Amino acid sequence: MRRHCLKQTIRVIAGLITGLLFAITVIPLNAQPLGSGAEVPAVSATTKAESHPFYDVTEEITLSGPVTNIVHGPSTGLIPGSHILLVTGAGTIDASLGKWGLHGKNAPTIANGEQVTVRGVMKTIRNKEIFFVRTMVVGGQTYTIRNRHGVPVSPQSRERGEKTVQKGVSL
Amino acid sequence: MKRRVYTGIFATVVCLTFGMLTGCSSNSSSKSTPTIAITATGGTPQNNVAVGTAFAAMSATVTSNGSPASGVSVTFTAPSSGASCAFPGGATETDTTNSSGVATSSACTANSTAGAFTVTATTSGASSPANFSLTSVAVVTSANYVFYASGEDTGGGTGENYYAIAGALTIDSNGNVLGGEEDYNDAYGITSPGEPNTPDTIASGGTLVVDPTTGLGTLTITSSYTSTGVSGVQTFAIQFVNANHALITQFDGTATSSGSLDLQSALVDNTWAFALSGVNPNYDSVAFGGVFSVSAGTLTGTFDVNDADAGISTANALNATASTPDAFGRLIVTGITNPGWGTPITLAGYGVGPEAVRLIDVDTATDPGYDAAVGSAYGQGTSTFDDTSLTAGVFAEIGQWSYTFATAGEFSTDGSGNVTSGIADDNEMDAGYQSLANDITGSTYDLTSSGVNGYGSMTLTNNGDVSLLGVYMVSPTVNMNDPNNTGTDMGGALIVDLSPFGVTQGGMGVITPQTDTTSTDFSGSYAAGFQNFNYIENVDSCGDCELDMVGPFTMVSGGALSTASIGADDSDPFGTISGVQSTGDVYGSTPLPVAAGYFTMQDTNGTPNPLNATIGGLSGYFDVDIFQASATTLYWINIDTYDYSVWLGTLQAQGSFAKARAAHRLATRLQPKKKTTKTTFGANLR
């Protein structure tokens, strides 16, 4: 129910952000050096569930801007996990990187003031606009933060994706 | 010499005192008759002495007019039939009182019949005998127990990994581990090296020590695989529910987990429901659930998968082969193909009893799909299931890895596929969605249209992202929490979360029939535990890391719920609160019944009553709700709209564990030094 109510709002906000602020940088997702192991084709078997995903890849947008704050630990009012605050033309965006976004092996390193490009979906959580980051470009590197279903990519998954790429095997 | 002199002196006194009784010629006839009394003053009661072994000596004190009477004959007499014991000379023995009036028997050896009986001690002139209450118990031979658990290990210091463990071991009546075998798999480098055919060996020499009052104890085993535990030595905190069943959590700082330990007997059933949860080859959450039948080692069935990467896949054909169980009941299941990855899955199973098997994924790094999972299969018996098979229940499920979440609720149905009333809590902590007391009336379920017996689904409304559950019915003669229990909380179903993509991949749990919602019936002693994931980060910055608890609790009917005096054990290797394996931890609250079968312990209640906790010396609280399936099984869930913590667990009514194969003694329980100077912790960031 809550997602139905939020869809229109999210679309409006996304449109404003994209129209007012900046040129959209289209992230070359197929050129990621890391985390490609998370990109696994979905099963085509019959499903009991109606399609109503938590993370809808068709609603993704791309944002860019300098980082003004980095939140690693628990913080009042924020959903759990790491966050970065990005300054965009529309204001400051709270970008959620999930529990493993800045933790573990092969995690990105970000500094305040650094220019970051994120691709993801804007959602309203606890009455706040949260940008759920799926991929992030920082320092010229592209990192997969969540898979295409919005599931956080674990450090083990990042590493496994690297190995998979090295072996030339497609999962 | 001294004794002779002493006896001689007092013989005169005795002779004078007991003239009439002893036949001494004296002028005693001119005195009044003394009052003779005999009292049991040592060696009673004596309980739980194994048949064939000796009770301690018994002592009777004889007095005359209130003064010790020495040199008096006292006859100890054991029953001539039934449960009894024998002195060196037979069923009776006569001893003489000493200067203190005390006569002491020889040791009396229990005969082969177990039971309670009375040994009497008599002496002339006493109007009634002294009674000694003795109880012998049947010889408790060694037995096999099956254990399993899942949680997070430290990966040998590399960080937190999902891990699963399952095994079987032999324990004698004194709590000595005589041997066993186990499978360990974290799918990240610590996987039993001989898989799938050769499990790790559990060496002889471990111990199981249990506090005789509360059932809280410690199991220490030594695995041949030295990458596990502390150089192979694994320690578990154990909370016995009864002699056949205990809750366990790994407790050695290398891992933490929740699971159970259950007495093992032979497998019988041929039709099964099953569910497993873990991580897929990409190290993201996955859960499997389904039903199958077994014929001559061939498994045939239907199963569902919810895979964080590969998607939801239902009604997959299951075709596999099971090997013959080894001496520890371990068998290997091969031939299953992971439908999302096209990779084979190999499972090891440990038979718990006629209707229960623990399952663990034993794929290795050299297999095409290196993953890990653990779960159970329970018998379906000969039951034919339809929508009348679910009338009222409590459901509870937890997801452990990619997204941590838990949900629990209660429901009643019309027996025709409709939920007519229900309440549920949903804690999707990682997604920032947490809701309490959700009205799930209008939810539906379907146990018929699949055409596969006992294979169905439940569609939940108004419970966050948890909207669809795979339902796999189990026999109405099975207690899923305690497979050796044939008396309470029978039947229900395994569940696997099949909700559309989002946050609930890997969710797995149970539906327990709800048979008693009377709040005052929640009373007595309970074994309790929970599996917690939190972002408290009190010692280390390990977000969404695991903490587990087991312990004995007492519930006063309509009153307070609290840990027994020994406290609880909390395993916190990731430093979420204390950073240690703490003992003697204290929990307490007064649950508020707000609906039939539904209690709350929240800081936002009119009279705040959160579950207060002192863990490793740090004080804080959790907001918790309880769903009562019966007076003997309750589920509790850590839930609040602003909690950075989620946990799910059970409260299981405690029975006698006197016959558990363990050393029943109060073990030294050292409280380790906490790793922080903080005195409080907070799970709530409002």
Q: What band does B407 get if pLDDT is binned at 50, 70 and 90?
A: very high
- In this prediction, residue A91 carries a pLDDT of 87
Distance between CA atoms of residues B562 and B565, nearest Å: 9
Are residues B403 and A55, on separate chains, in Cβ contact within 8 Å?
no
Name the superfamily (CATH) of residues A2-38+55-167: Nucleic acid-binding proteins (2.40.50.140)
C-alpha dihedral sign at B650, B655, B661, B666: positive
Mean pLDDT of B468-486: 97
Q: Per-residue pLDDT for B10 more than 50?
A: no
Report field, pTM of the whole predicted structure over 0.90: no
Mean pLDDT of B126-139: 90
Beta bridge mates, B545: B534
Q: What's the helix, strand, coil split of chain B in %, to 5?
A: 5, 50, 45
* Spatial contact of B513 and B493, defined as CB atoms under 8 Å apart: no
Instruction: Give residue limits of the domains in chain B.
Output: 31-137
Are residues A54 and B535, on separate chains, in Cβ contact within 8 Å?
no
Per-residue model confidence as pLDDT tens digits over B24-50: 333 444 457 899 999 999 999 998 787
A123: closest CA among A30, A3, A21?
A: A3
- In this prediction, residue B209 carries a pLDDT of 95
B208: closest CA among B149, B142, B279?
A: B142
Q: Per-residue pLDDT for B12 more than 50?
A: no
Phi, psi (rounded to 5 degrees) for B320:
-155, 175
Per-residue model confidence as pLDDT tens digits over B234-253: 999 999 999 999 999 999 99
Q: B202 to chain A nearest CA, in Å?
A: 29
B662: closest CA among B209, B206, B246, B137?
A: B209
Mean pLDDT of A152-157: 92
- In this prediction, residue A52 carries a pLDDT of 56
Residues from chain B that touch A165, judged by Cβ atoms under 8 A, are none
Mean pLDDT of A33-57: 45
If contacts are CB pairs under 8 Å, which of residues 614-653 in chain B contact chain A? 644
Per-residue model confidence as pLDDT tens digits over B598-612: 999 999 999 999 999
Q: Does B686 touch chain A (CB under 8 A)?
A: yes
Q: Does A26 touch chain B (CB under 8 A)?
A: no
For chain B, the maximum distance between any two Cα atoms, rounded to a whole number of angstroms, is 107
Question: In chain B, what percentage of residues exceed pLDDT 70?
Answer: 94
B275: closest CA among B501, B515, B498?
A: B498
Q: Per-residue pLDDT for A170 more than 60?
A: no
- In this prediction, residue A17 carries a pLDDT of 34
Beta bridge mates, B345: B336
Among A151-155, B207-211, B669-673, the range scoring the smallest mean pLDDT is: B669-673
Mean pLDDT of A112-124: 95
Q: Does B367 touch chain A (CB under 8 A)?
A: no
Among A63-67, B140-144, B152-156, B631-635, the range scoring the smallest mean pLDDT is: B140-144
Most confident of A46-60, B265-279, B467-481: B467-481
Per-residue model confidence as pLDDT tens digits over B560-586: 999 999 999 999 999 999 999 999 999
Q: Per-residue pLDDT for B196 more than 70?
A: yes
Q: Does A105 touch chain B (CB under 8 A)?
A: yes
Mean pLDDT of B144-161: 93
* Spatial contact of B556 and B575, defined as CB atoms under 8 Å apart: no
Q: Does B233 touch chain A (CB under 8 A)?
A: no
Mean pLDDT of B194-203: 97
Peptide bond into B196 cis (omega under 30): yes
CATH 2.60.40.10 describes domain B31-137: yes
H or E segment and range at residue A162: helix A155-167
Q: Is beta strand B581-589 parallel, antiparallel or unpaired with respect to B611-615? A: antiparallel
Q: What band does B123 get if pLDDT is binned at 50, 70 and 90?
A: very high
Tokens standing for residue A79: 């959903």
- In this prediction, residue B303 carries a pLDDT of 98
* Spatial contact of A72 and A102, defined as CB atoms under 8 Å apart: yes
Q: What band does B18 get if pLDDT is binned at 50, 70 and 90?
A: very low
- In this prediction, residue B639 carries a pLDDT of 94
Distance between CA atoms of residues B206 and A82, nearest Å: 43
Per-residue model confidence as pLDDT tens digits over A60-81: 999 999 999 999 877 777 888 9
Q: What band does B356 get if pLDDT is binned at 50, 70 and 90?
A: very high
Query: Which residue of chain B comes nearest to A35, CA vs CA?
Result: B282
Q: Per-residue pLDDT for A5 more than 60?
A: no
Instruction: Give residue limits of the domains in chain A.
Output: 2-38+55-167
Tokens standing for residue B15: 């002779």
Q: Is beta strand B161-171 parallel, antiparallel or unpaired with respect to B177-185? A: antiparallel
Residue with the larger pLDDT of the pair A104 and B508 = B508
Q: What band does B7 get if pLDDT is binned at 50, 70 and 90?
A: very low
What is the secondary structure of B118-142 as a DSSP string?
EEEEE-TTBSS-EEEEEEEE-----
Q: Which residue bears the tokens 């959580």? A: A125
Q: Per-residue pLDDT for B293 more than 80?
A: yes
- In this prediction, residue B31 carries a pLDDT of 56
Q: Does B133 touch chain A (CB under 8 A)?
A: no
Give the count of beta carbons closer than 10 Å to the beta carbon of residue A147. 24
Residues 6+ apart with CB under 8 A from B59: B40, B41, B42, B43, B102, B103, B104, B105
Q: Per-residue pLDDT for B200 more than 90?
A: yes
**Out of B401, B470, B535, whose CB is closest to A80?**
B535
**Out of B281, B432, B541, whose CB is closest to A171?**
B281
Residue with the larger pLDDT of the pair A33 and B417 = B417
Residues from chain B that touch A161, judged by Cβ atoms under 8 A, are 282
Residues from chain A that touch B283, judged by Cβ atoms under 8 A, are 154, 156-157, 160
Residues from chain A that touch B505, judged by Cβ atoms under 8 A, are 151
Q: Per-residue pLDDT for A121 more than 90?
A: yes
Give the count of beta carbons closer than 10 Å to the beta carbon of residue B89. 9
- In this prediction, residue B1 carries a pLDDT of 40
Q: Does B452 touch chain A (CB under 8 A)?
A: no
If contacts are CB pairs under 8 Å, which of residues 286-315 in chain B contact chain A? 304-305, 307-315
**Out of A48, A72, A161, whose CB is closest to B541?**
A72
- In this prediction, residue B8 carries a pLDDT of 44
Question: In chain B, what percentage of residues exceed pLDDT 90?
Answer: 85
- In this prediction, residue B50 carries a pLDDT of 79
| Mean pLDDT for all residues in chain B | 92
Query: Which residue of chain A comes nearest to B459, CA vs CA?
Result: A49
Distance between CA atoms of residues B90 and A14, nearest Å: 95
- In this prediction, residue A44 carries a pLDDT of 31
Distance between CA atoms of residues B543 and B547, nearest Å: 12
Q: B467 to chain A nearest CA, in Å?
A: 8
